[in-house]
Amino acid sequence: MIEENIRIQKSLTHGAPFYVLGPLVTDIASGYDHIAGAIGGALAAYYGADFLCYVTPAEHLRLPTVEHVIEGVIASKIAAHAADLAKGMGYAREMDDKMSRARKELDWTIQIEMSVNPKKAKALRNSSEIGQDEVCTMCGEFCAIKTIKDSGL
């Protein structure tokens, strides 16, 4: 349905720039409409929407707080980036490749710098006591990346 709506709008307006709110891909995501909107936004951008309006987690429930707006904007930025990746935009691929290399090297500084929200990434990284600076607490000493790196492969 999203693809058809974008196609119709572009046809009726002779290709004028199109600005979408969301669109929400499901109505059951109350409290998480920013995620449902980001999924729809990624699809809309892939199919030709030119601008994405953010949706907040508070959408359809209350006026958003500043934090809700920040979460909505970040979700929308992720959607736009995902669409650019899917459309083969070189800059988006370069950003993801840089992050992938940083993850492979367990380079936490670059991983945090490259993240869509470095402040949150840094706070999450610093919020767990792990004893080993090289890995995270998800896998700890069983980190597959560290195991491969240590084996010399």
Confidence band for 130, pLDDT divided at 50, 70 and 90: low
Give, in degrees to the nearest 5, the angle at Cα 120 between 68 and 108.
160
pLDDT over 90 percentage in the chain: 78
Q: What is the mean pLDDT of residues 108-130?
A: 91
Characterise 54 by phi-psi region: left (phi > 0), alpha (psi -120 to 50), beta (else): beta
The arithmetic mean of pLDDT across residues 92-99, rounded, is 98
Contact 99, 111 (CB under 8 A): yes
- Give the integer Cα–Cα distance in Å for 153 and 148: 6
What is the average per-residue pLDDT within 118-140? 83
pLDDT in tens, 14-30: 999 999 998 999 999 99
pLDDT value, residue 131: 58
Match 């290709």 to its residue by tokens: 15
